[in-house]
Structure 1
Amino acid sequence: MDDETLEKELTLDKQLCFALYGAAHAFTRAYKPLLAPLGLTYPQYLVMMALWENDDVPVKALGEKVGLDSGTLSPLLKRLEQAGHVARRRDATDERQVYITLTDTGRALKKQAVGVFRAIGEQTGCSLDEVVTLRDSLKRLQAQLGDEG
């Protein structure tokens, strides 16, 4: 494409990045009322999902999994600990290493989260196959842009 054609395409509503930005915000807004009964914010929900998948993990590995830096993750984990969903423990051999473990309360929350997953699925209006295709396309795009986190 020549510069003149590209210039005509340089409008906000034609940008992929803006569509992704808007969709991400729409997802966050859609999750908010669904997560409120669980007492979770969206970032806390992401952390809980990661822990339901793989419990008793180092804080650093958890942060890498969910894409949160320690400045964001530490206060989030503190709130989850205060709510009784997770516990922190120091590694016996390396006290600098902190592990995050689900409590029984945190594990039990997973059953309620199934309803959140179902409701979001219904709100998207997409079939499961469409969701899988879209998710895989977005993961490929993320990798292409050099962030496979």
Structure 2
Amino acid sequence: MNTPRISSSHEALRLDHQLCFALYSASLAMTKLYKPLLEELGLTYPQYLAMLVLWENDGVTVSELGDRLHLDSGTLTPLLKRLEAADLVTRLRDVQDERRVLIRLTPAGRRLKTRAARIPGCVLQAAQCEVSEALTLTRQIQTLRDRLSA
């Protein structure tokens, strides 16, 4: 594979050559796309991500949720309190280990999954890409994230 070379420090400092800016601006565009879709569900984007984890695996601990979302408990606690106030989740101390807090979906939280099911299709349509292309991009970005986190 031929890797393009940036010939000068001037070229290296061009905004359009910055991977960080491409990721940042794509993230802004993605968040803007999700905003009206999630408003219909009464969720913010971080709340939606938490719900995705819970729809996959109900009854995770706060720390497991934080690991999946790459968020600390200081960020998760207010988010979970808002989801609990909206009657979408409950937070319960684990009876086997009181230090652990389990997050469980309420019936309303489980029902919301049906309404959310249309969102991935809307995103694919807006991005004008096939499922295979989206999965490839996702894997590449996850690999980048993992490398940067190592």
Q: Same fold (TM over 0.5)?
A: yes
- Residue 58 of structure 2 contacts residue 103 of structure 2 at CA under 8 Å; is this kept in 1? yes
User: Residues 79, 3 of structure 1: CA spacing in aligned structure 2 closer, same or farther, 3 A cutoff?
Assistant: closer
Moved more, 93-102 or 16-25: 93-102
Counterpart for residue 131 of structure 2: 128
For residues 18 and 66 of structure 1, what CA distance do their matches in structure 2 show? 22
Gaps of 5+ in 1: none
Q: Give 1:33's aligned residue.
A: 36
Q: Which has the higher contact order (CA 8 A, sep 6+)?
A: 1
**Which residue in 1 is equivalent to 2:75?**
72
Q: What residue is the counterpart of 2:62 in the other structure?
A: 59
- 5+ long unaligned stretches in structure 2: none
**Distance (Å, rounded) in 1 between the aligned partners of 2:38 and 2:149:** 31
The whole-number CA distance in structure 2 between the counterparts of 1:6 and 1:129 is: 36
Kindly indicate whether residue 114 of structure 2 is the aligned counterpart of residue 111 of structure 1.
yes
> 2:63 and 2:135 mapped to 1: Cα distance?
28
**In 1, are the aligned partners of 2:91 and 2:101 still within 8 Å (CA)?**
yes
TM-score (norm 2): 0.91
Equivalent AA in structure 2 for residue 20 of structure 1: L
Shift in Å at residue 141 of structure 1? 1.3
CA RMSD of aligned residues (A): 1.7
Aligned to 1:8: 11
Alignment: residue pair count: 147
**Aligned position for 2:49:** 46
Q: Percent identity?
A: 50
1:141 to 2:144 alignment:
yes
CA–CA distance in 1 between the matches of 2:75 and 2:44? Answer: 13
